[in-house]
Structure formats: C-alpha cells, structure tokens
A and B are shown apart, each in its own frame.
Chain A
Amino acid sequence: MSAPLLSLRHLTVDYATDRGTARAVDSVSLDVASGETVALVGESGSGKTTLALSLLGLLPEPPARVAPESRIEYQGANLAGGDNASWRRVRGREMGMVFQDPSLSLNPVLTVGSQVAEVVRTHSKCTRREATTRAAELLAMVGVDSPALRARQYAHQLSGGLRQRAMIAIALAGEPKLLIADEPTAALDVTVQAQIVELLAELRRRLGMAVLLVTHDFGLVAQMADRVVVMYAGQVAEMAPAPVVFSGAAHPYTQGLLLAARGGAGSAERRLAAIPGAPPAATAWPSACRFHPRCARAWNHCRAEAPQLERVSEGHDARCWLVSEPAGETGGRPS
C-alpha cells in the first residue's frame, strides 16, 4: 500500500469542563488511503465527532485542547498545532466536510447557489459568472433537479434530502481528495437516507475520493465502507476490513453493535439485542477496560488491567483481552 492520504497518530483531545478534564479522544491512530472509505463507528459520546472536527482544526480551543504529541498527517505533513493559515490550505480543497443536519449547516439567509459558488470562488480563480455556472453543475452532479432554479432558492425552500444534496455539493465545490461525512444521514427520513447513501457511494466511485464516514448506522457501513474503525469511550475498540467486521468481529462491543443493528426477526429479539447500560461520560471513563461495566463477557482481568490493541489477523486489531486470552473468560469466572 502506498503512503496513506491521512494518517492520525496518537490523536488525543481533551475538553476542560467544570467537572475536570474530559479526554474525548484518547490516543487514536488510524490511516485513510487514497480512494478508501473508512467508517468511524460508535455510540454518541464515543468521541467520533470530536475526532472528525479535529481533522480540520475546527474544535473550539479552549475548551478543547489537542494534545501536543498528536499528529494529524495529511499527505505526510503534520497539521496538528498549525495556525489558521495552514488549516485554511487544507480546508475545503483537500478535505471537505458534510455535517449531520443540513437544515443547520446551510445558511438560512443565503441562496443555496451562492453558498456553493462562494466555496468554488474560494478555491479557484474564476469570475462570479463562472462560479455560478459551476455551482449549477455541482448541484446537477449531486442529483438536484432543475439546478438553476434550486440555486436561487433558500435552504428553507428545499426538502431535507435536497438540502443534504446541496450540502454535499458545497463540500465538493473545492474538489477535495477526502470527504469527511459526519452522520450524513442521521437527520433525514429513512427513505431519503437510502438515496443519500447511494449518492455518496456513486460520487466516491466517480470522483475517486477517499471518504471518512462518521456514523452509528451499520447499514450505511455495509453499503459504503472498505474499512471499519469502531470507537468506544474515546479509544479505538476494533479496526478491521468491513467484510471481516461483519463476519467475525472480535470485540464484544462490536458484536453488540452489530446485533443491535441487525436485530432479530421479532421485536422481542431486537430488544434483547441492545447493549445494556449507557455509554460512559468522558470525565470518568471506567478503569481498566472501559467497556467492562457493560460487557457480558468481562472477567477479572478486564476489571484489573486495560487491554491494548492486539492483532487478530492481518489488518484486524481489537482492544480486548479475549484476543490474547480466549480461555480467560471461562477460567476467570466466577468472580
């Protein structure tokens, strides 16, 4: 494999809160290759959105603070700790971003077309007229009907699906090599979700760009992802090629997420498939293995010592004692 497009090493983000420091992202290392789609999966509060925002230097600092040892390498150059000027060189033209709720991420007082054109003009030297033409082309590319008309409309005049398409057009206006999509379908109707997923998959094929997909929806992962990174409590819990995750997830948390997503045939089974308990708060991660309070398969070792990411097979790592001590589970009980 050639050098990755984006490479995170020991990315750590702390938030200063009233109740002490919250380590929202804890030493996360991962790579995204050119043209690859990586899904970042986890529950609310697992740090995935914080991670996505930190990639473009968008975290409000303070209260957020990216630890000095963190490295965010884009095409080999470290972005972490850079100033606004250095961030602006990558924002939009190298990495584009699509946000969760298009009704909030489009400016209510500007026409959709002018918002696309504005990003076009920021990243390429062209006249106002050329930018307007390009904006309509981009809107057409993301499947907006009668783009010239839609370009003159405001966000509130568009449906949820059209808004998200417009937002994707804006994110693509700088022709980025990596698209960061933070829960791009979470705020949409189920029927529209499928269309947006299809659009993203098609755009990725056509434009050959890499996608970092932040989501908690395994349906989305199944349709798009080449590789899956599962986050729990700010750490990488498991990371594997997508088919491997679906056929043989090693971490009980990943297994739980998959079960919850698939459910069973009946509603009773679906309810049983939920992971017990709630995600922990970032101010007080559980000691040792952070998942042990909610893990059905936890034993003494899980409560005593934090597991490291262990290699399960080539390209497949999991942070669980079951990987290195598969017998521990039975041997350790009862505790």
Chain B
Amino acid sequence: MRRCRHVACRLTFRAGVSVTADLVQPYRTLRDNLKRRDRSLREKVVSLEDAASFVNDGASIGIGGSTLSRTPMAMIWQLIRAGKKNLSCSRCIISTDGDLLFGSGAANHIVSSWFSQGILWGLSKVMRHYVEKDLARYDEWSHMAMGMRFRAGGMGLPFLPMRSMLGSDVARIRPEVKEFDCPFTGERLLLVPALNPDVALIHVQRCDAYGNAQIDGLQFMDIDLALAANRVILTTERIVSNDQIRRAPDHTKIPFFCVDAVVEVPFGAMPHECYGTYEPAMDHLDAYVAQVNGDPVQGMRDYLDKYVYGPKSWAEFLSLIGVEALVTARRQGESIFDV
C-alpha cells in the first residue's frame, strides 16, 4: 500500500506539468479543444487535398485499421504527396504504411505493437534501415496497451490499468508506464498513459456527409481512436444518404460529432483490404516487398516516384495497380459473405 500511495501522489503532483504534461494532454486542454470544434450536424465533405491541410508538420496522427486491413492508405498517400514532415504516427499494428511514412520522411516516429510488412514476408528492411541506423524511432507497446491507451484517451481519462506487460522488457524500456499497487486489492498493475492524437485517419465502408460512419466486420481500435483524437478525417468507400444511416443506426460505429472531414475514396485502402469490399492486391504487395527490401533506400524512392508522386490522382494510382488486380481483389473481398 505504501508504494501505491507514493505513485498516486506523484501522479497527482505532476498532473499538468513535466513528464506527464508531455505525455498526456491535460484534461482542460482536451475539453477546450473539443469545445472549439464545430460539432453541429453539418456537411463536411472535402477533397483528399483539402483534408491533408488538417494535418500540420510534427502532428501526432492516429491511424485506423490494422496490419493490412482498412488502412486509410489514400489519406496517407496524400499526406506524403503534400510533403508533410516529422509526423508521429500511432497504429495498433503497422505494416507497409509505416514503411511509406518512414521512407518518404513524412514520419520519424511510429508507436505500435508490431511493425513489419506482413507475416508472409518476414522482416521489413525499410523499418530496419530507419530504426537500426537511428534515423527514426519505433516505440513498441503491447497490442492491448495500444488499445488501453486509445481507450483512456476516448474516455477522457489520463491512464488505464492493465495486467499484461508486467515483468517484460517491453515495459522495462518504456519510461511512460508506471507500476502501481491496486488501492483495493494490493495487486500489482501497470498504468498506461492515454493517447489522444492530434488527428485520426480512419477508413470506413460507408458514411453520410455528416460523418456518421458504418464499419463492416473488424473494427479494430477505430471507435476508441475516433473518440480520443482531437480531429478526425474519415475516408470512405461510399458516401450514403443520412436516411440510409438512420435505417440501420446499430451499424453506425462512429458518430458524426467526432468527425471533422469526410472524403469519398473508392478503393481507398488499396493495396490493403477493406472488409467485405476487397482483399489486398497481393501481387502488388509481393512486388513492393521485393523492391523495397531489395534496396530500402533506392527501392523505396523508385516506388514513391512511380506510385505516390507520379499519379495525378488516386484513380490514376489505382490504374497502376491494374484493373485485373482490382477485380480479383473485389471478387475475393465480397466472397466473405458467401455461405
């Protein structure tokens, strides 16, 4: 109990200053930021280019989806094209999107539980190049810790307690975590700090012009992320009418007042998947991995030139992936509903 009081006091005394201030946004700031946002029921459809202006250099960005699923790839693609710099990006599991963010210089910091291109391809040479040469930082947390951090952020709390990560080196090298003895039971718990990104990027199957978002299938940590962030950019496969949303409100996972911008981008997670809509473009990803792991600097530069900086629009990027690949991915994606 003695240790518990000690930690509790320290947290109390430090609230709003020093270590805690850098790590966890003060409650007053979070509330003030929210108060300033226009939360009225209004249309907020913009272009990818306009949405990118919501993101300042150096901002902290929360990325929705997980691994190869519902990655807000078109938005990330646009941020890279817009020349964003020094972003700090958090995502529960990050894959080729993390490669592109490091390789383009858009991000120099990734917070995640797992960072590689995908289990099929082994280690990401791009991640290894940037991290091992100290050119960029990858902070590792357990998957549940990422979830608890977004959840605390979404709940308006500075931290949440949990029982994993204790005893491991994952916790030992994270100065941000605190061990804590429960005031009720005396059990050892780990406290993880809230994560309230400046901007969340989330891709969904459909939403209305106000931002009421419906997510099919796996929702990952997107609801907590949307509630936690100070601003939310939604990209969507399809904008539907508000009447259609109201017909099935139980499908709505993110309420409109969390959302600041809506961008309609069909195939907006390509070359990753979007549940029930398309599976990943595996041939494109195989070729991507071979190229960037072959040479994480020049290979990546060539990829960015051809697929990110080169195309005039997202549609032109899709045409580089190819109609055949898109048709195959679409057929496989929809097959999840076959009985």
A-B complex is real: no
Chain B residues in contact with chain A, CB under 8 A? Answer: none
Chain A residues in contact with chain B, CB under 8 A? Answer: none
